[in-house]
Amino acid sequence: MPTNLLTLLPEIILTVTGVLVMLAEPMIAPGKSRKPLGWLAILGTLASGLAAFYQLQLVNASGPISGFYATIQVDAFSVFFHLLISSIVLVTLLASLDYFEGPVSHAGEYFALACFGATGMMFMTCSVELLMVFIGLEISSISTYILAGFRKGQATASESSLKYFLLGSFATAFFLYGIALCFGATGSTSIGAIAASLGTTATPALALLAIAMVVIGLGFKVSAAPFHVWTPDVYQGAPAPVVGMMSTAPKAAAFAVLLRFLFNAAPMYRNHWIVLIEILAVLSMTIGNLGALMQRDVKRLLAYSSIAHAGYLLVAFTSIQQDAVAAACFYTAAYAAMNVGAFLVITQLSGYDEQARTIDDFTGMALKRPGLSALLGFFLLSLIGIPFTGGFFGKFYAFSGAIHNGHVVLAIIGLANSGVACFYYLRLLAALYARPVREDATLLSPRKLAIPAGIAIAASAVATLALGIMPNHVLNLVQRATPETLPAFSVAPAVSTLPPAAPTEMTR
Amino acid sequence: MVPIAYYLVLAAILFSIGVGAFLIKRNIITIFMSIELMLNAVNLTFVAFAHMWHQISGQIFVFFVMVVAAAEAAVGLAIIIALFRARQTLNVDQVNLMKN
């Protein structure tokens, strides 16, 4: 197989699947079930995940592969994010099969857009040319703008879509201006070439402005405060399974770009951008957690929680490169597992019309849906960061990396914030197991849990648990992901302070 | 010949006007136009730098930005129409169903 084709194999499979779904959509008579299209999309996503796994074998055997005139680079780092994104989309599609059954006859577009969105996100993580990153970012963003407003007829849906679109495009313009200034400072938009000439540029002010602009643009995409204003409204109005996907997959891709850009293209300005990252981290953690305390709507609460988690993830960026990449990759995986899981359970509990929205609606849910409530409780515990869940090790690696690199105050602020976060997660958890506030007829007749959705929720729960009791398997992959992204220029000493990926790490 | 800095300053001013209009204006179409203004300011920056570095890649970038902006406009206008049908208003201050 030609190298060029091989480097983009997962993306090509997903694109072809999306196009096939779009072509097959009109063949199905109106009013008929759209499930076959959903299964087609699921097969395509599965195939792209397998293709990414195949790439991993090749990378293991013969090192990073580059293609398309060195604009695409496949290494353990990109393969990790490919696997993560395809898993998230796979689980979301499984859970959406029955969600869109009935009320919406255009669910085929939903399945196609999920495939296209995943293509864009994967594209972001394997590009080492900022032009390609920009194209990937736009493919993923435009798909998710539409997905956010997919519950047609709901007044909040178009509002959610519009807010996401306006602020997303606004952020894109900042990101693009950053690329333009980077091009001005170095004469290139390729990450390798930028790294080579950014240190000796005649206009360091331009370079600093460029880095700041790129961080602002990506800060919007990962909903880091103070660029978080869109998050609560968008998450509240968008369909619950879509929120599960768009709160994890595009963020993972944006964090991947941020890691590559900051550590590979601009390591010589580390002392400057680390201040910016620290400010963003502290603001995100504090505003996210304090905002979540005041929410009554469960999706809004989880939106503020996702802002806080973006802050915890940014704390990981203050470590040296190896630790930062490993901790950030682990955190994105753990956060994806638990947050997708939580939103999929909420999808099942509240349904298409979202009869259960506020904490009061969820009160006493354990009496009616004991299994699902227990799982939601488990995901909430993982979001808190209880040991034996993925959330614990995510926070552990992020904060220990920060402490080892002298950012003790930052770690203390993070831990204090985790304490505040306990309050609102536990309030929701306690509500699940409390006496119902009001008897609601619709909630008393539980909908049957469809098998694909059940599999999806179970997979998220298993992933969360697996990341909590044997994190070394994933840590192995993410620690190997680092050297491939290591540039020739690194100002920090290359000594890893993370515990080695060994079974004994629990005792450290 | 016009110095390169003039183009860059003009682009920066245009970008700032775009940011300001995005934050101040209340009509959704105007807000959308201010985003387009920001993208065009970026395009001007790219062309200026491409000339400075004698590199064609900056001009190629502009074409990609224009294509993506067109795709974004198509989706964006569709979303705006969907919103107008549902709410009969284009004022962002009245698009506030979701508060706690």
Nearest to A145 among B31, B65, B79 (CB): B79
Segment A162-187 mean pLDDT: 95
8 A C-beta contact, residue A458 and residue A348? no
Assess if CATH 3.40.50.720 describes domain B4-91: no
Contacts of A145 in chain B (CB under 8 A): 75-76, 79
Residue A495 scores a pLDDT above 80:
no
Residues of B in contact with A231 (CB under 8 A): none
**CA separation for the pair A165, B32 (Å, rounded):** 10
Q: Binning pLDDT at 50, 70 and 90, where does residue A488 land?
A: very low
Query: In this predicted model, what pLDDT tens digit does every residue of B29-87 receive, in sequence order?
Result: 999 999 999 999 999 999 999 999 999 999 999 999 999 999 999 999 999 999 998 88
Contact of A327 with A281, CB cutoff 8 Å: no
Name the pLDDT band for A247 (thresholds 50, 70, 90).
Answer: very high
What would the pLDDT profile of A303-355 be if each residue is shown by its tens digit?
Answer: 999 999 999 999 999 998 888 999 999 999 999 999 999 999 999 988 887 87
Task: Say yes or no to pLDDT of A224 above 70.
Answer: yes
Q: Write b or e for each residue in A440-468: b if 16 or more Cβ atoms lie within 10 A of its Cβ, otherwise e.
A: eeebeeeeeebebbbebbebbbebbbebb
**A173: which chain B residues are within 8 Å (Cβ-Cβ)?**
15, 18, 35, 38-39, 42
Q: What is the predicted pLDDT for the residue at A253?
A: 96
The residues with which B91 forms a beta bridge, in sequence order, are: B27
**Residue length of chain B:** 100
Average pLDDT on A235-250 reads: 94
Q: What single-letter DSSP state applies at residue A239?
A: -
ipTM of the prediction = 0.97
Residue B21: its pLDDT value, please?
97
Span of A8-22, A89-103, A173-187 with lowest mean pLDDT: A89-103
C-alpha to C-alpha distance for A146 and A308, rounded to whole angstroms: 25
Record: contact A158-B64, CB cut-off 8 A: no
DSSP state of A127: B
Question: Is pLDDT of A211 > 50?
Answer: yes
At A416-435, the pLDDT tens digits run: 999 999 999 999 999 999 87
Give the pair of three-digit tokens for residue B33: 């136009």
pLDDT value for A442: 52
**b/e per residue, A389-400, with b = 16+ CB within 10 A?**
bbbbbbbbbbbb
pLDDT-above-90 percentage for chain A? 68
pLDDT-derived band of residue A140, with 50, 70 and 90 as boundaries? very high
Task: Please list the alpha-helical segments (H only) found in A127-190.
Answer: 130-148, 155-186
In chain B, domain spans = 4-91
Is it the case that residue A497 has pLDDT exceeding 60? no
Reported as type and span, the H/E element at residue A73 is strand A72-74
Q: Is the pLDDT of residue A499 over 70?
A: no
Q: Which residue has the higher pLDDT, A182 or A103?
A: A182
CA A478 to chain centre: 16
Region A195-203: mean pLDDT is: 85
Best of B27, B36, B65, B80 to disrupt the A interface by mutation (most A CBs within 10 Å)?
Answer: B65
Q: Which residue of A162, A181, A295 is in closest CB contact with B79?
A: A162
Any A CB within 8 A of B95 CB? yes
What pLDDT, on the 0 to 100 scale, is given for residue A508? 33
pLDDT the model gives residue A492: 37
What's the rounded Cα separation, in Å, for the pair A237 and A239? Answer: 7
Confidence of residue A486 (pLDDT cuts 50, 70, 90): very low
DSSP A238: S
Lowest mean pLDDT across A50-54, A58-62, A141-145: A58-62
Task: Output A143 or A437, whichever has higher pLDDT.
Answer: A143
Say if CB A118 and CB A82 are below 8 A apart.
Answer: no
Which residue carries 């704390």 as its tokens?
A315
Considering only CA atoms, which of A95, A122, A108, A128 is closest in space to residue A33? A108
3-state secondary structure at position A64? coil
DSSP secondary structure, A331-378, as one string: HHHHHHHHHHHHHHHHHHHHTTTTS--BHHHHTTHHHH-HHHHHHHHH
Q: Quick check: A283 pLDDT over 60?
A: yes
Tokens of B12: 């920066």
Instruction: Say how far apart CA A439 and CA A454 lie, in whole Å.
Output: 26
Contact A184 B49 (CB under 8 A): yes
Q: Of residues A36 and A103, which shows the higher confidence score? A: A36
Greater confidence (A483 vs A377) lies with A377
CA nearest A121: which of B43, A478, A113? Answer: A113
Band of residue A505 on the pLDDT scale cut at 50, 70, 90: very low
Mean pLDDT of A41-49: 97
pTM: 0.93
Inter-chain CB pairs, A–B, below 8 Å: 117
Contact between B28 and A181 using a beta-carbon 8 Å cutoff: no
pLDDT of res. A112:
96
Residue A370: pLDDT above 80?
yes
Rounded to 5 degrees, what angle do the CA atoms A21, A135, A217 make? 120
When pLDDT is averaged across residues A400-425 and rounded to a whole number, the result is: 93
Measured distance CA(A274)–CA(A276) in Å, rounded:
5
> What is the band of B96 on the pLDDT scale with cuts at 50, 70, 90?
confident
Determine the length of chain A: 508
Q: Which residues of A touch B97 (CB under 8 A)?
A: 155-156, 159, 237
**A233 min Cα distance to partner chain B (Å):** 6
pLDDT(A490) > 80: no
DSSP-derived secondary structure for A2-45:
-HHHHHTHHHHHHHHHHHHHHHHGGGSPTTS--HHHHHHHHHHH
pLDDT at A390: 92
Residue A104 has pLDDT above 60, yes or no: no
